Structure 1
Amino acid sequence: MVLRVPETPEHAREAVRAVLATPRRRTAPPPDSAFAGPSGSPDAEADDADPDVPGPTAVCPHRMFEIDLADLAAGRGVEAARPVGWRWLIHERGRTVGAVEVAEPVGGPPLARFTEGPFTTGTDAAVATVRSLPHVERGYYELRLLHIPGLYTVALWLADLAGWQDLLVPLAPAPPGVQPLRPYPAAELAHTLVARGAHVLTTTQA
């Protein structure tokens, strides 16, 4: 499988380096985390990790996107997703221990933060899942992260650059009716979430 990553902007890489240079407390990685990635610069790919290199390293850069509930409820799907920044996974000794997210507000400076939790460490399992799919192995995709804030839903997004079919892999915890780590055609998952998104909108506007 070829995973394409657009060229990362220098200001985002600088923000990642600044976060990594700041001392912080990190939780221990889960024992079953097996996602392999390299140590090195914030533009490193995710295939050649050296687990013996100490210290945190930024790997596997990918763009972050968001979908508004209104767009989801209207059935516009991933086509309505807008880019909101970048994310790097942070490895220590070959394991994901967190991520650095670099948000890019319109008209403002980039905002970088270190994050932890299931949506971060769960990225490993999602990448391993899609790598095991025969048709994905033969494809050409851009790795992205999709966030639906109103539904507390995050998914790994494989944007099919050949124009066939995008895939979404929900990360745990997933909303009711959605199976974590199952690769969904993007249109299918969006359709599954339409009713829930419309319900949330109706509740919040009541």
Structure 2
Amino acid sequence: MLRPSPAPAPALRSVLAALGSPSAVREPRTPALRAAQGPLSPELPLPVHVLALPSSPGAPGAAAATGQQPPRTRLAGWRFLIRNGDRAIAAGDTMLTPDGWSFSHFFEGPYVTATERALMQAEALVTPYQPRLLSVPELYMLTLWLHSDTGADGATTEPGPDDLLVPLAPAPPGIAADRAYRVSDLLPVIGLRLAPPPLLGSPAPA
């Protein structure tokens, strides 16, 4: 069961304007959008957060990589799935500028299909969740973040102990896509992937 957080009205308006006036935006439409027949509708707004983990074991906040402290995230934008008929064929991203929320770009590809699939699976869960997206750019990884506090502000809340993360396909090697992980189970794995390898010749830890 999903209870989405409402997107900022200017973000939605910017995507509607980009769909209505393709020549008014810098980024061209994707092939799927150009070939679409019938109306295009931006739906299922999702706040896109970026996961910030330390780059080395001694860096500030290193405990977040092992789950000892809450991870840090930052809101990067709002994403809307662009529906044509009964399926999403693309997505439209918005970004926060000094003048407020503005349209960023359209895109298509496997993450659009994977996001729609993960949302459909999450909708069948008995427990209600607030859907979001959590990105790990260093791993080229995107997850559906199911936040347990459905009344929270989708722009500000950090992952909680009862939250779930569903890696979207394609997921990094060794991490199963389309599977729901507890935050406490997946974040340590991500932290290990992000940790730099030991320097050659470095003394072994005592």
Asked if TM exceeds 0.5, the reply is yes
Q: Which residue identity lines up with residue 167 of structure 1 in the other structure? A: L
TM-score normalised according to structure 2 size: 0.73
Q: Does 1:67 align with 2:64?
A: no
- List gaps (5 residues or longer) in structure 1: 29-52
Which residue of structure 2 aligns with residue 26 of structure 1?
31
For residues 146-165 of structure 1, the aligned pairs below 5 Å read 146-161=134-149, 165=162
CA distance in 2, matches of 1:68, 1:22: 36
CA distance in 1, matches of 2:51, 2:135: 7
Pair 1:201–1:151, CA change in 2 (3 A): farther
- Residues 164, 181 of structure 2: 8 Å contact kept: yes
Could you say which structure has the larger radius of gyration?
2
Q: CA deviation at 1:6?
A: 2.5
State the identity %: 33
Q: Which residue identity lines up with residue 158 of structure 1 in the other structure? A: L
For residues 49-60 of structure 1, the aligned pairs below 5 Å read 54-60=38-44
- List gaps (5 residues or longer) in structure 2: 23-28, 151-159, 200-206
Pair 1:15–1:200, CA change in 2 (3 A): farther
Which residue of structure 2 aligns with residue 193 of structure 1?
190
CA distance in 2, matches of 1:144, 1:201: 34
Pair 1:175–1:201, CA change in 2 (3 A): farther
Which residue of structure 2 aligns with residue 16 of structure 1?
15
Q: Which residue identity lines up with residue 160 of structure 1 in the other structure? A: S
CA distance in 1, matches of 2:128, 2:56: 26
| SS of structure 2 residue aligned to 1:5 | coil
How many pairs does the alignment contain? 172
- Residues 166, 185 of structure 1: 8 Å contact kept: yes
CA distance in 2, matches of 1:165, 1:17: 35
Q: CA deviation at 1:84?
A: 1.6
